[in-house]
Structure 1
Amino acid sequence: MEHEFWHKRWSNNQIGFHEGSVNQYLYDHWPELSRQANETVLVPLCGKAHDLWWLNDRGHPVIGVELSEIACKDFFTEAEEKATVTPGEPFTRFVHGDLQLWCGDFFQLVPDDLTHVKLVYDRAALIALPAEMRRTYVDHLTAVIPDDARMLLVTLDYNSDEMQGPPFNVTDEEVFALYGDNYAVTRILRQDLPPDNPFAKRKGLLHGATESVFRIDRK
Structure 2
Amino acid sequence: MEHAFWHARWAEGRIGFHQDEFNSQLQAYWLGLDVSSEGQVFVPLCGKSGDMLWLREQGHPVLGVELNQSACEAFFAERDAEPVVRQEGAYRYYGCDGVELLCGDVFSLSEAQLQDVVAVYDRAALVALPPAMRQQYAQMLIEHLPAGVSVLLIAMEFEGDQGPPFSVGEDEVVALFSSRFQIRRLSERSGSTGRQDIAYQLTDKC
Superposed, which structure 2 residues align to 1:172-211 within 5 Å? 172-193=170-191, 197=192, 200=193, 208-211=194-197
Q: How far off is 1:56 after superposition?
A: 0.6
Q: How far off is 1:37 after superposition?
A: 1.1
The one-letter code matched in structure 2 to 1:217 is T
The one-letter code matched in structure 1 to 2:200 is F
Q: What percent identity do the matched residue pairs reach?
A: 39
Aligned-partner Cα distance in 2 for 1:99–1:48: 11
Per-residue CA deviation, residues 97-131 of structure 1 (Å, 9 max, x unaligned), is: 22101101100000011111000000000000011
Q: 2:197 aligned with 1:216, yes or no? A: no
TM-score normalised by L of structure 1: 0.91
Match of 1:79 in 2: 79
Q: How far off is 1:190 after superposition?
A: 2.0
Contact 2:35–2:118 under 8 Å retained in 1: no
Match of 1:54 in 2: 54
Aligned-partner Cα distance in 2 for 1:99–1:34: 21
SS of match in other structure, 2:88: coil
Aligned-partner Cα distance in 2 for 1:153–1:40: 16
SS of match in other structure, 1:215: strand
Per-residue CA deviation, residues 181-203 of structure 1 (Å, 9 max, x unaligned), is: 2110001112222xxx2xx2xxx
**Structure 1: runs of 5+ lacking an equivalent:** 201-207
The one-letter code matched in structure 2 to 1:210 is Q
User: How many positions carry a matched residue from both structures?
Assistant: 205
Superposed, which structure 2 residues align to 1:117-128 within 5 Å? 117-128=117-128
SS of match in other structure, 1:87: strand
Match of 2:145 in 1: 145
**Structure 2: runs of 5+ lacking an equivalent:** none
Aligned-partner Cα distance in 2 for 1:21–1:30: 16
Superposed, which structure 2 residues align to 1:60-139 within 5 Å? 60-139=60-139
The one-letter code matched in structure 2 to 1:214 is Y
Q: How far off is 1:214 after superposition?
A: 0.4
Match of 1:13 in 2: 13
Q: How far off is 1:88 after superposition?
A: 3.5
Match of 1:205 in 2: none
Aligned-partner Cα distance in 2 for 1:46–1:34: 22
Per-residue CA deviation, residues 141-197 of structure 1 (Å, 9 max, x unaligned), is: 111110211100000111116xx211111111111111112110001112222xxx2
**CA RMSD after TM alignment:** 1.1
